Amino acid sequence: MDSRITARALAAALGGWRTREPAYEALADGIRLLCLDNRIAARTALPAERELAGALSLSRTTVAAAYRSLRDTGHIESLRGSGSVTLPQPRREPGRMAVGADAVDLQQASPAAWPGLTGVMSEVAADAASLVSRAGYDVRGSLALRQAIAERYTRAGVPTDVDEVMVTNGAQGAIHLIADTLLRRGDRALIETPTYPHAAEALRAAGARLVGVPVSVDAGWDLDRATQAFARTAPTVAYLMPRFQNPTGRCMTAVDESVVAEAAARAGTVLIVDETTGELAIEATPPGLPGAAFAEADVVRVGSVGKTIWGGLRIGWIRAEAQLIARLVGARPPRDLGTPEFEQAVTVRALERMPEVLAQRADVLRAGRDALVAALGAALPAWRVPTVTGGVALWVELDAPLSSGLVLAAREHGVYLSAGSRFAVDGTHDRHLRIPFTAPAADLRHAVEVLAATWPTVCAAAPGEVREGMPDRSANGARDLTEALV
């Protein structure tokens, strides 16, 4: 048994779990979804029935029935004297699912590889002799790639030297390394909610206590709440996606950036600015660099080519002061011994063609966005579909807080999505659903057809108070979490 989740933590992660009757099956569904999303890792001990019943204000009989349902479907096993533990779930791949070849996987919000990548890889492979002559162990990154990244920052208005750049294994590797280096157990970390879930996981893994600040498709960042959170909790770091935020698609204005920068400076907070989606403009490109108003001395920038060139090209980077880069380089060896040379060489050549790459990406994302917006408007007119000018997804507001139930129902028909709670800091956002528009238009239209067909059934199975439109708890949840940490 590797870990244990408390009743309180499980209750928070479940969010608005009561999406259908009977209650025990709704609870079982909520736990299933947490397992499928890997928010509860395999071999995790679940709370005792009595403890979870108390945390959820349920009878022990209801929790026992939920656990029995989970055993029947192979999601948990119960061991005499050890309680119930979650089981590993088989990894399903599109085209290999029991539901057939028409399955659409929209859990990953990344477009297919840039078409010119094959040619670039062939060019680099032809020069393989120069690559294999190197040692291959370099935790800082190849000089050629660091120079290329530094030059891009300099052209964008952020003068950068090669000693201020470090190459990592994707943006996720960068975020984990930064979190492990800057955070100590119990430190506060401010983060948007909803947010990129793997960033939240990295901060938690480093021992941070998360302080959520709301961001919405309508109002953007709650600056009053953010200012209060900086002042009250003095977070060690703050993680932000200022341009084409995932999942809302919002962009910070210059005023937004200035307010956050000033609040962070007063609190002594290091800003981690995630730029991985920052160049994915569909309409006119916003001027400047994401977070241009942030004081450079207090900013650590994270970038990658995963969303622009190809998710399989696991190249990311960190741009920070040379002194911090040296700390990060020193902290890296226990995690890994460097980034593959071949991928770095490919990225150097691909970066030379970024204007071409970004133009093609804009065309692909525009086609996907327009197809998805049209399909949702026709099939599900009661849902609120935001207008976005870039990024990778729509943060759609449903007309009832049944995101988790809908995601489970859609899986039975071969459409794989992530519920709104996947992107929450505090188990809320049950009224929202992230739908990426990175897939082909035909796949997106099929996914909407499935959602439209299953939504009435999901709504009909929900308790009466949910069907009547239970208010979304997202903003209040973020407030409660912030105040609880003060």
Residues 320 and 164: beta-carbon distance below 8 Å:
yes
Instruction: Check whether residue 149 and residue 78 sit in a common domain.
Output: no
- The three-point CA angle 381-278-138 to 5° equals 135
483 falls within a domain = no
Q: Is 382 exposed, middle or buried (0-12, 13-18, 19+ CB in 10 A)?
A: exposed
**Number of structural domains in the chain:** 3
Instruction: Check whether residue 40 and residue 76 sit in a common domain.
Output: yes
Residues 166 and 328: beta-carbon distance below 8 Å:
yes
User: What does the H/E/C string look like for 421-457?
Assistant: HHHCCCCCCCCEEEEECCCCHHHHHHHHHHHHHHHHH
Dist CA 68 CA 339 (whole Å)? 45
Instruction: Check whether residue 297 and residue 189 sit in a common domain.
Output: yes
Instruction: Check whether residue 298 and residue 261 sit in a common domain.
Output: yes
289 falls within a domain = yes
Give the bridge partners for 436, in sequence order.
393
97 falls within a domain = no
Residues in contact with 118: Cβ distance below 8 Å, sequence separation at least 6, in sequence order: none
Low-confidence ranges of the chain (pLDDT < 50): 1, 93-100, 470-486
Instruction: Check whether residue 108 and residue 161 sit in a common domain.
Output: no
Instruction: Check whether residue 349 and residue 360 sit in a common domain.
Output: no
Residues 437 and 365: beta-carbon distance below 8 Å:
yes
Residues in contact with 100: Cβ distance below 8 Å, sequence separation at least 6, in sequence order: 414
Query: Which of 353, 368, 398 marks a domain boundary?
Result: 353
Domain that residue 449 falls in: 104-114+356-473
Look up residue 307 and give its two tokens: 């969303």
Q: What is the CATH number of the domain that holds 418?
A: 3.90.1150.10
- Transcribe 217-277 into DSSP letters: TTTEE-HHHHHHHHHHH--SEEEE--SS-TTT-----HHHHHHHHHHHHHHTPEEEEE-TT
Instruction: Check whether residue 247 and residue 167 sit in a common domain.
Output: yes
Q: How confident is the model over 213-247, as pLDDT tens digits?
A: 999 999 999 999 999 999 999 999 999 999 999 99
Q: Is 389 exposed, middle or buried (0-12, 13-18, 19+ CB in 10 A)?
A: middle
Beta strands 165-168 and 316-319 are antiparallel
Dist CA 38 CA 380 (whole Å)? 29
pLDDT value at residue 291: 62
Query: Which of 353, 368, 387 marks a domain boundary?
Result: 353
Instruction: Check whether residue 168 and residue 313 sit in a common domain.
Output: yes
Dist CA 81 CA 437 (whole Å)? 47
Instruction: Check whether residue 66 and residue 143 sit in a common domain.
Output: no
- Residue type at position 77: E
210 phi/psi in degrees, rounded to 5: -85, 140
96 falls within a domain = no
Helix axes 403-411, 441-461, angle to 10 degrees: 120
Dist CA 243 CA 290 (whole Å)? 6
57 falls within a domain = yes
Query: Which of 318, 353, 388 marks a domain boundary?
Result: 353
In our burial notation (b when 16+ CB lie closer than 10 A, e otherwise), range 239-249 reads: bbbbbbbbbbb
Look up residue 168 and give its two tokens: 């990592």
Dist CA 203 CA 5 (whole Å)? 17
Q: What is the CATH number of the domain that holds 56?
A: 1.10.10.10
The distance from CA 483 to its chain's CA centroid, rounded to whole angstroms, is 24
> What radius of gyration do the chain's Cα atoms show?
23
206 falls within a domain = yes
Instruction: Check whether residue 467 and residue 412 sit in a common domain.
Output: yes
Token pair 């039975």 is found at: 412
Residues in the chain: 486
* Order of strands across the sheet that contains 83-86: 3-4, 44-45, 83-86, 76-79
94 phi/psi in degrees, rounded to 5: -55, 135
> 59: how many CB neighbours lie within 10 A of its CB?
13
91 falls within a domain = no
- Candidates 401, 403, 380; CA nearest to 465 is 401
337 falls within a domain = yes
Q: How confident is the model over 88-102, as pLDDT tens digits?
A: 876 554 433 333 456
Residues 342 and 292: beta-carbon distance below 8 Å:
no
- Candidates 449, 422, 379; CA nearest to 102 is 449
Instruction: Check whether residue 11 and residue 53 sit in a common domain.
Output: yes
Instruction: Check whether residue 319 and residue 229 sit in a common domain.
Output: yes
Token pair 């408007």 is found at: 377
